Amino acid sequence: MKPFVDTLIPADAQADLEYALRLETTRQCDPAFESRIGAQTEMIRQEVLAEQGVLKVAVELIREGPTRN
């Protein structure tokens, strides 16, 4: 089967995702990889926080959700 190529996901992010899935499915650990991904995730979180402020997505979803009787 030919692999699916999604041009919307940058190649480095796709490679990290595939590596993370490989680690998970083989139950292996790579502390350096996990540390790097954790740092990148925190950086992105801080950028979103600076641009958007605190996002209360769950609050809006609960308000828009079905009501219980």
Domain count of the fold of the chain: 1
> What does the pLDDT read at residue 1?
63
5-64 pLDDT tens trace: 667 888 899 999 999 999 999 999 999 999 999 999 999 999 988 888 887 777 777 888
Residue 49: inside a domain, yes or no? yes
- At 69, the pLDDT band (50, 70, 90 cuts) reads low
Residue 6: inside a domain, yes or no? no
Residue 69: inside a domain, yes or no? no
Residue 34: inside a domain, yes or no? yes
End-to-end CA, the chain: 50
Residue 3, class by beta-carbon neighbours within 10 Å (0-12 exposed, 13-18 middle, 19+ buried)?
exposed
- Quote the domain boundaries for residue 34: 11-64
> What does the pLDDT read at residue 37?
96
Q: Is 4 a residue whose pLDDT tops 70?
A: no
Residue 3: inside a domain, yes or no? no
